[in-house]
A and B are shown apart, each in its own frame.
Chain A
Amino acid sequence: MNDSLLRRVCRSPAVWPLAGILLLLAANLALKPAFARITILDGHLYGLPIDVLNHGAKILFVALGMTVVIATGGIDLSVGSIVAIAGATAAMIASHGVTSLPLIVGGALASGLAAGAINGLLVARLGVQPIVATLILMVSGRGIAQVLTDGQVLVIRQPGFDFLGNGFLLGLPFPAVLAMAAYAVAWTIRRRSAAALMIEAVGDNPAAARFAGLATDKIRVAAYVVSGLLAAVAGVMMAANIGAADSQRAGENLELDAIFAVVVGGTALEGGRFFLAGSFLGALLLQMLTTTLYNLGVPPAVAPVPKALLILAVCLAQSDRTRAWLSQLWRRSP
């Protein structure tokens, strides 16, 4: 009984990112024991682990959308640009004298929806390869965001807007709470409905899924729309966090972070299978790595180096070739 549980845990794809997080935590504690200290101030929790959750929220959101897209056998390279567009849209609406929070946030989310719909239509209806289709928005999206904000960093002055990026709910940072809620909702949908099954069927074998009566085109469009919407949520949060829309830097390289979080979490890029817990832990692992590097005084610009090496290591570890080679070695040695 115990043995089978242990085996099941070991076989779960989430075990690798979890091991990585624990390893990083141990390394941090050994180097700087103050790392895990959590203090309570005015009923709010503060500390580096809370920071990881807070700043990781944007990767969590984008990775959730990316998980769905990758599960359908696609990829969304445009999420970084959508983050910039959503922030720019929010700033543009606010700068026109609109003070209603739902309008500002709604406009930003609508821009994400529209961007996702364009991606989805290109992929599903026009049959363009996902990498190519989303590349179009990746190239032009940042330009659109820059034109919306006139190439400037637009400050957003709206008291309620600040809460979305810096507020606290139940003692935890609001972005972190919202991200966890999103994963809980996604997990419930996966458990309680056939949506996940359909997504996986489309990713596994589109032709078979179509013959089985699934509306493959609609499912694929929906996946990109979800990804665009969640990227827009991340964009609103980043804009709220700094109180401004920075079209140049917002969401820079976020597409790689999201893809990485998904791949580390055990979701194969070929599609057909996805793991929500894996993506969740993968995103946290990535943020943990970034926070650790800052904590150790590595300049932010150099931080991509260890990240890239980790990505390469994970890719190689998950490759069939490496596994075959290792299992051969395993069989030969005893």
Chain B
Amino acid sequence: MKPVLRRRLPLLATSSLLVALFVGTGLCYDGFFSVRVVVNLLSDNATLGLLAAGMTLVIFSGGIDLSVGALAGLVSILVATLVEAHHVAPVTAAAIALVGCGLAGAGMGALVHHFRQPPFLITLAGLFLFRGCAYWLNTESVGITHPLFARLAGDAFEIAGHGIPIVALVLLAGLAIAWTLGHECRFGRNLLALGGNETSALLMGVPLGSTRIWVYALNSMFAGAAGLVGTVYTGSGNPSFGIGLELDAIAVVVIGGTMLTGGRGSVPGTFVGLLIFGTIQSAILFDGRLSPWWARIVVGGLLLAFILLQRFLVTRFAGRDGNSA
């Protein structure tokens, strides 16, 4: 196999799966081939997409962040509380939330780097902490009456009679930022070097500490943005928002062809993985007979298939030994 083709194989596999899945679903159910379905695919999964975009970068570095769903929930209820109960301007509230997220993420990154703790343990503790804090603020969801939120939940512009929601554009912007950071600048190359082999990254002069702390801070800010989008989309702040979303985000990233061991992956792949995830959910919704929980099982199965594909590629082509874990 040609090297270029070999490197692109995960992305190719994911893309062909998406096309097959989409066409197959469209042939099975009437009305699936419509602009509305595609637009909804983007806006319904905007929160998940933003989480997955940030998660991709963290996984590039060989880390993982389980706290993002809880952080999105905390941002959701925090912003709603600030806007509704304390009459803070929505923009200020959003800025406070994002800066707070960045600091929280940097803190977790610092713990991971300086105290050499496993990322999943530190971020699992973060999951508990953020979720608990969210319930501390309010155990009930808070409806938002501020007119700006209603406007943001609407459409940005219309194309051929179909409105394009603002949240869908935010998702695309987030993915573009992640793509730029991950593939088009030095930060992304540092991340991949760090995820590939920490010792050689250090010897190459990659600033390990700042790279790691920055990637967790950035990821937490993506999670904060996801929380904001979710708040806008549902028109309310909810402390239980985003439960389990961290797992969906990781699944989307892996289905997109990013190696969970770090060092290899792609942001466009994550976007394709997100669309696959969304298509499965819409298909189950269109069917109407299946329990929505089947989506989790199918995603689990896909996760398994793609992880096995990765193992196969690593052991077969890359010439690494089998014990890279």
- A interface residues with partner B (beta carbon < 8 Å): 75, 122, 126-133, 135-144, 146-147, 150-151, 206, 253, 256, 259, 263, 269, 299, 301-305, 307-309, 311-312, 315-316, 319-322
User: Chain B contact residues (Cβ within 8 angstroms of A): what range?
Assistant: 35 or more
Q: Is the CB of A128 within 8 A of B325?
A: yes
Residue with the highest number of chain B CB atoms closer than 10 Å, among A126, A138, A269: A126
Q: What 7 A-B pairs have minimum CB-CB distances, sorted nearest first?
A: A140-B300, A143-B296, A301-B135, A305-B132, A304-B132, A308-B128, A146-B293
Indicate if the CB atoms of B128 and A139 lie closer than 8 Å: no
Using CB atoms, name the residue of chain A closest to B135: A301
Contacts of A137 in B (CB 8 A): 300
> Are B296 and A315 neighbours in the complex by a CB distance under 8 Å?
no
B250 adjacent to A129 (CB under 8 Å): no
B291 touches A151 (CB 8 A): yes
1/0 per residue B242-269: CB within 8 Å of A? 0010011011001000001100000000
Is there contact, CB below 8 Å, between B300 and A321?
Answer: no
A315 touches B260 (CB 8 A): no
Closest Cβ–Cβ distance, residue B147 to chain A (whole Å): 31
B164 located at the interface, meaning its Cβ lies under 8 Å from any Cβ of chain A in the complex? no
Contact B299 A139 (CB under 8 A): yes
Report the bound CA distance from A308 to B310 in whole Å: 34
The answer for the CA separation of A167 and B120 in the assembled complex, in Å, is 37
B275 to chain A, nearest CB (A): 18
Name the A residues within 8 Å of B127 (CB-CB). Answer: 256, 308
Known: A135-B250, A143-B293, A143-B300. 17 other contacts (CB 8 A): A75-B120, A128-B307, A131-B120, A140-B299, A141-B300, A146-B296, A256-B125, A301-B239, A302-B136, A304-B128, A304-B129, A304-B131, A305-B133, A308-B127, A308-B128, A309-B129, A319-B116
Contact check, B121 vs A315: say whether CB atoms are below 8 A apart: yes
B contact residues around A304 at 8 Å (CB): 128-129, 131-132
In the complex, the answer to whether A139 meets B303 with C-beta atoms within 8 Å is yes
Contact A305 B136 (CB under 8 A): yes
Of the A-B pairs whose beta carbons lie under 8 Å apart in the complex, a sample of 18, sorted by A's number, is A127-B315, A129-B325, A138-B247, A139-B251, A140-B301, A146-B296, A150-B291, A151-B292, A206-B323, A301-B139, A303-B132, A305-B129, A312-B122, A312-B125, A315-B111, A315-B121, A315-B122, A315-B125
Query: B289 within 8 Å of A by Cβ?
Result: no
B252 to chain A, nearest CB (A): 11
Question: What is the minimal beta-carbon distance from A266 to any residue of chain B, in angstroms?
Answer: 15
B300 and A126 contacting across the interface, CB-CB below 8 Å: no
Given known pairs A140-B297, A140-B299, A151-B291, the reply for A128 and B135 (CB within 8 Å) is: no
Q: Are the C-beta atoms of A127 and B311 separated by less than 8 Å?
A: yes
Nearest neighbor of B120 in chain A, beta-carbon distance? A131
Contact of A312 (CB < 8 Å), options: B111, B118, B135, B251: B111
Please name all residues of chain B whose beta carbon is closer than 8 Å to the beta carbon of A263 when the two chains form the complex.
121
Which of chain A's residues has its CB closest to B325's CB? A129
Query: Which of B264-309 touch A at CB < 8 Å?
Result: 291-297, 299-301, 303-304, 307-308
Q: Which residues of A contact B115 (CB under 8 A)?
A: 315-316, 319, 321-322
Most buried by B among A130, A135, A142, A144: A135
Give chain B's interface residues, CB within 8 Å of chain A: 64, 111, 114-118, 120-122, 124-129, 131-133, 135-136, 139, 239, 244, 247-248, 250-251, 254, 260-261, 291-297, 299-301, 303-304, 307-308, 311, 315, 322-323, 325
Report A-chain residues with C-beta under 8 Å of the C-beta of B239.
Answer: 301
The distance from the CB of B280 to the nearest CB of chain A, in whole angstroms, is 12
Residues on B with C-beta less than 8 A from A144 are 297
Contact (A139, B260) CB under 8 Å given A305-B136, A311-B125, A312-B122: no
A263 to B125, CA, bound (A): 13
Contacts of B250 in A (CB 8 A): 135
Name the residue in B131, B296, B303 with the highest tally of chain A Cβ atoms < 10 Å from its Cβ: B296
Contacts of A316 in B (CB 8 A): 111, 115, 117
With both beta carbons as reference points, the residue of chain A lying nearest to B322 in the complex is identified as: A127
Query: Which residues of A sit under 8 angstroms from B322, Cβ to Cβ?
Result: 127
Complex Cα–Cα for A192 and B231 (A): 58
| A126 and B311 within 8 A (CB) | yes
A253–B67 Cα gap in the complex (Å)?
12
Chain B residue, CB-CB nearest to A314: B125
From B121, B296, B308, give the contact of A140 (CB < 8 A): B296
Distance A155 CA – B120 CA, assembled complex (angstroms):
35
Q: How far is the CA of A122 from the CA of B260 in the complex (A)?
A: 15
- Least CB distance from A212 to B in Å reads 17
Q: Which of A133, A143, A299, A315 has the most CB of B within 10 A?
A: A143
Q: Which residues in B have their C-beta under 8 angstroms from that of A141?
A: 300
